[in-house]
A and B are shown apart, each in its own frame.
Chain A
Amino acid sequence: MELPRWNCCGTVHALAKDDVMHHLAPVRVLLRVEETVEAGLVDEPRVVTLCAMCYNTLKRANHLYRNDSDKRRVIESIMEKESRPYGGKAEVIHLLELLKELGWEKVAKRVEKPLEGLKIAPYYGCLLLRPRGFGVDDPEEPRIMENLLEALGAEVVDIPFKSRCCGAYHTVFMKEEAAELSYKILRQASEMGADVVALSCPLCMFNMADRQGLIGRLFRDFKGIPVLYFTQLMALAFGLEEEAHLDENNPDPRPLLRERGLWR
């Protein structure tokens, strides 16, 4: 179920050691998780994220809160108007980790329309893997997205730039420089034979998909390549076409999927 109450995590973990204020937003979310258990709505204090940035901020704030008693006290005192202090019990996991826990065979069993013949380049970006100690998988040799895509019946294309930065927030004030970073990743995926790119971060999605118009204007050789959220590929393979919301992607992946016999 969706958390009844939640707020924006702040998108980035505050790295400066004396910056406690910016940990409040993620800690507040973690408290909501405990409250949801208390209200009897869920059994376990686990929160699943689909976004690499939420995953990172929540997980790092949780770690800090549990391990730094001084900061914990400060955060508690600022949050005194809450029902009670956060108990440090919430567990933050990414949907990919949950799927791995359930088992890839189980995922494969749910597949109704295997993504056969579709060559997919998984793209992790930064925060799904880094910093070391806070990722969903080994930061240098990740396999988790590959395993999922294989369970969905797709062919995985392993690109060297799969965990290279897409340009992140530089898309705001340095959009051409950010576009160049994304261009290099997308071009590599195309050159290595991928039909589409799969990812798990809304900011990567914007830079690598929505910015393809800009990329095309800057780099004349760029032909464009569909980019899908990994959950959209799951929906497609599970036969939940409507839930995949492919009409919202830009560029539109449907013509290519139709060519591969994966779209009506």
Chain B
Amino acid sequence: MPLGSGETLRLSEKLKPFRERVKELSGEDVGLCYQCGACSSGCPLTDEMDLLPSTVMRMVQLGVEEVLNSKTIWICSSCFTCQVRCPRGIDVANVMEALRQLVLRRKYDRVSIDVLPPEELRELPQIALVSCQRKLTG
């Protein structure tokens, strides 16, 4: 069967909703991604990630919901370098936020500032604490 006939990559109906949910939440058409890797090559945080941003994009395309278990979505700092570089006009940072939100909305907090020792809390500026909580707690 020739590749591209739709058979080899047909998405199971069961998995489609995940991709649709990400699309809705992020506002990005993940289907446009052609896996050029520009997002991954410019990303400053790949050293800390378990999946490259382009791999995350591929998994979302294929409806692989396990992408929600990846460390990458929490490591992405919304620096928008990928948004500037993507030749398909996709804002990968929006997709990352959608994936974080899908997890955070299950009453999950990635972090809790309660565990920070008081001396650390004192030295951290408000702008760090507010942005951290906005990004990593539900």
Contact = CB atoms under 8 A, between A and B. Distances in A.
* Chain A interface, DSSP helix/strand/loop, else mixed: loop
A171 interface: yes
B132 A169 contact: yes
Interface string B1-40: 0000000000000000000000011110000000000000
A206 B125 CA distance: 8
A2 B54 CA distance: 44
B101 A202 contact: no
A210 interface: yes
Interface stretch (A8-16, A26-34, A85-93, A225-233): A8-16
A22 B84 contact: no
A261 to B, nearest CB: 33
A177 B111 CA distance: 16
B44 A171 contact: no
Contacts of B124: 171-172, 206
Contacts of B78: 12, 15, 126, 168
Interface in A154-182: 163-165, 167-174, 177, 181
B77 A173 contact: no
B93 interface: yes
Given A131-B83, A172-B111, A206 B26 contact: no
B103 to A, nearest CB: 12
A130 interface: yes
Contact of B45 (A51, A165, A202): A165
A35 to B, nearest CB: 24
Contacts of B134: 10-12, 14, 22
Contacts of B135: 12, 169
A17 B130 contact: no
A15 B22 CA distance: 12
Contacts of A210: 123
B101 to A, nearest CB: 5
B113 to A, nearest CB: 7
Interface string B112-136: 0100100000011111111110111
Contacts of A43: none
Contact of A203 (B48, B93, B113, B131): B131
Contact of A130 (B84, B98, B111, B128): B84
B77 A202 contact: no
Interface in A1-52: 8, 10-12, 14-19, 22, 51
B130 A173 contact: no
Interface string A111-135: 0000000000000001101111000
A101 B101 CA distance: 39
Q: Identify the interface centre among B91, B97, B127: most chain A CB within 10 Å of its CB.
A: B127
Interface of B: 24-27, 44-45, 48, 75, 77-81, 83-84, 91, 93-94, 97-98, 101, 111, 113, 116, 123-132, 134-136
Smallest CB-CB A-B distances: 3 pairs: A130-B80, A15-B97, A169-B132
